[in-house]
C-alpha cells in the first residue's frame, strides 16, 4: 500500500520539483498539498505530471493545528526559514508522529533531528522520524570537503555562485532577472547560514562567500583547502574516487564541472582538481542543482530511507542531459 505524503508550502520552486518526483514514485502518493495563494486550484493545472496519479487533487490551506488530522504518513515542510516550528508544534500537541522532513534551516542545528545528507550521514539514521534536509550550498561544500577532512589545516574558503531560484519566489533583488542581467551579486559574505551549517556538521571551520548569478537553477562552489601533507594530483583524484565511486549520486570528474550541465539533474559533480606546487593546497569544484540534489531530490532520498525503501526509488540517478 502506498505511503501518503503531505507538502506544506507547495507553491515554491522546491515544492513543485518534489511534486514532480512524487508523481513518478511507485510507493508514494500525495495526501495534500498546501498553498494559501493556490487554495482550491487543481494541482494538475499547475503541475501536469501529477494528473496521472490524481487529476482531482487540489491545493488546500489548512491551519497548522489541522495538519495532524490530514493523516499523512510523512509531511514535508517546504517553508521559509523560521516557519517550521509552528507546524511541528501542532503534531507534538496531539502526539502525532508522522515522518517530518523540514527543508528549511530551522532544525539543522538540533541534535534531536537527523541531519539528512545521506552520502555522509546515512550511518547516523536509526529510524528517526524528524529529518532536517541540508542546505543546497551546504551539501555541495560538505561533499567537496569531506574526503580531505582528516588532513585539513586551517579554515576552508568556499566561493559560491547560485542561480536565482535559490532566493525563492518572494520578490527581491536576488531573484530579479533585470537586476541580475550581466551581473554577479554578492551577499552575506561573512556568517552566512550555510557557513555555520557546514562548520558545525564537518567539525571544521569553513569561510563561505556566496553570489547570485542570472541563471535560474544550479550552483557551483570552488573550495580552497590547505593540507597537512603533500598530495600529487593523481593521488588526489584517486582519493576522491575511492571515497565516492560507490555513491551513484556523486560523480567525480577530472575536469571542472559546469553549472549548465548539472541543471535539471539529480546528482553532484566534483572535479577540477588543482594542486599547488608544494602539494599542500588543493582547489576542488562541486556543482549541483540547488532545487534537486540541493533540496527536493535529497528530501526524496531521506523519505525513501525513512520508509525502508531503496534510497534511489523514484530518482533517476543517471538522467540523460
77 and 28, same structural domain? Answer: yes
Does residue 115 belong to any structural domain of this protein?
A: no
90 and 30, same structural domain? Answer: yes
Q: What would you report as the CA-atom Rg of the chain, rounded to the nearest whole angstrom?
A: 20
Contacts of 279 (CB under 8 A, 6+ apart): 227, 230, 231, 232
Does residue 86 belong to any structural domain of this protein?
A: yes
Q: State the cell numbers at 123.
A: 550511518
Does residue 310 belong to any structural domain of this protein?
A: no
Options 38, 43, 136, 236, the catalytic residue: 136
Number of domains in the chain: 2
Does residue 222 belong to any structural domain of this protein?
A: yes
- Backbone CA torsion sign across 270, 271, 276, 278: positive
Q: State the cell numbers at 55.
A: 487529476
Query: Which residue, 106, 127, 145, sits at the end of a domain?
Result: 106
Segment-wise mean pLDDT, segments of 10 residues, the chain, 321 residues: 94 94 97 96 97 97 97 96 96 97 97 98 97 98 98 98 84 82 94 97 98 96 98 98 97 97 97 98 98 98 98 75 37
Does residue 74 belong to any structural domain of this protein?
A: yes
Does residue 85 belong to any structural domain of this protein?
A: yes
Domain ranges, residue 198: 136-289
**Among 162, 186, 117, 159, residue whose Cα is nearest residue 272:** 159
Euclidean distance between CA atoms 158 and 137, whole angstroms: 10
272 and 158, same structural domain? Answer: yes
247 and 143, same structural domain? Answer: yes
64 and 142, same structural domain? Answer: no
215 and 102, same structural domain? Answer: no
Euclidean distance between CA atoms 199 and 201, whole angstroms: 6
275 and 140, same structural domain? Answer: yes
For position 320, what pLDDT does the model report? Answer: 40
Does residue 117 belong to any structural domain of this protein?
A: no
258 and 172, same structural domain? Answer: yes
230 and 186, same structural domain? Answer: yes
Does residue 298 belong to any structural domain of this protein?
A: no
Query: Which residue, 106, 128, 162, sits at the end of a domain?
Result: 106
142 and 280, same structural domain? Answer: yes
- The 10 Å CB-count burial string (b at 16+, else e) for 131-167 is bbbbbbbbbbbbbbbbbbeebbeeebebbbbbbbbbb
178 and 33, same structural domain? Answer: no
196 and 86, same structural domain? Answer: no
Query: Which residue, 106, 122, 154, sits at the end of a domain?
Result: 106
136 belongs to the catalytic site:
yes
For position 158, what pLDDT does the model report? Answer: 98
Task: CATH number of the domain at 285, please.
Answer: 3.30.360.10
C-alpha distances out from residue 131 to 99, 117, 248, 289, 309, Å? 8, 10, 22, 21, 16
Q: State the cell numbers at 83.
A: 516557519
Euclidean distance between CA atoms 103 and 134, whole angstroms: 7
**Among 290, 298, 244, residue whose Cα is nearest residue 271:** 244
Answer yes or no: are the C-beta atoms of 168 and 11 closer than 8 Å.
Answer: no
Answer yes or no: are the C-beta atoms of 269 and 255 closer than 8 Å.
Answer: no
Task: CATH number of the domain at 52, please.
Answer: 3.40.50.720
**Among 294, 306, 317, residue whose Cα is nearest residue 135:** 294
Euclidean distance between CA atoms 96 and 135, whole angstroms: 26
**Among 215, 110, 219, 217, residue whose Cα is nearest residue 158:** 219
Amino acid at each position: 500500500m502506498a505511503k501518503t505524503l503531505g507538502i506544506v508550502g507547495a507553491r515554491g520552486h522546491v515544492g513543485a520539483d518534489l511534486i514532480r518526483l512524487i508523481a513518478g514514485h511507485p510507493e508514494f502518493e500525495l495526501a495534500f498539498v498546501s498553498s494559501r495563494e493556490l487554495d482550491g486550484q487543481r494541482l494538475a493545472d499547475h503541475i501536469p505530471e501529477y494528473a496521472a496519479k490524481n487529476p482531482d487533487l487540489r491545493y488546500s490551506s489548512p491551519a497548522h493545528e489541522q495538519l495532524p488530522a490530514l493523516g499523512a504518513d510523512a509531511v514535508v515542510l517546504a517553508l521559509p526559514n523560521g516557519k517550521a516550528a509552528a507546524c511541528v508544534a501542532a503534531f507534538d500537541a496531539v502526539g502525532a508522529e508522522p515522518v517530518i522532513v523540514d527543508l528549511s534551516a530551522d532544525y539543522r542545528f538540533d541534535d534531536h533531528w537527523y541531519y539528512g545528507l545521506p552520502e555522509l550521514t546515512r550511518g547516523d539514521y536509526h529510524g528517526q522520524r524528524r529529518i532536517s534536509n541540508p542546505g543546497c550550498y551546504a551539501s555541495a561544500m560538505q561533499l567537496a570537503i569531506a574526503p580531505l577532512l582528516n588532513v585539513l589545516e586551517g579554515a576552508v574558503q568556499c566561493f559560491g555562485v547560485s542561480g536565482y531560484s535559490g532566493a525563492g519566489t518572494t520578490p527581491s533583488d536576488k531573484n530579479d532577472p533585470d537586476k541580475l542581467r550581466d551581473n554577479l551579486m554578492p551577499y552575506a559574505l561573512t556568517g552566512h547560514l550555510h557557513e555555520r551549517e557546514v562548520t558545525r556538521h564537518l567539525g571544521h571551520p569553513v569561510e563561505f562567500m556566496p553570489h547570485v548569478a542570472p541563471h535560474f537553477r544550479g550552483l557551483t562552489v570552488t573550495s580552497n583547502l590547505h593540507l597537512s601533507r603533500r598530495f600529487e594530483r593523481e593521488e588526489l583524484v584517486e582519493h576522491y574516487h575511492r571515497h565516492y565511486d560507490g555513491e551513484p549520486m556523486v560523480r567525480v570528474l577530472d575536469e571542472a564541472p559546469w553549472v549548465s550541465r548539472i541543471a535539471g539533474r539529480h546528482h553532484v559533480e566534483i572535479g577540477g582538481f588543482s594542486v599547488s606546487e608544494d602539494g599542500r593546497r588543493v582547489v576542488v569544484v562541486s556543482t549541483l542543482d540547488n532545487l534537486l540534489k540541493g533540496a527536493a531530490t535529497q528530501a526524496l532520498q531521506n523519505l525513501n530511507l525513512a520508509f525502508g525503501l531503496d534510497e534511489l526509488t523514484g530518482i533517476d540517478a543517471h538522467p540523460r542531459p
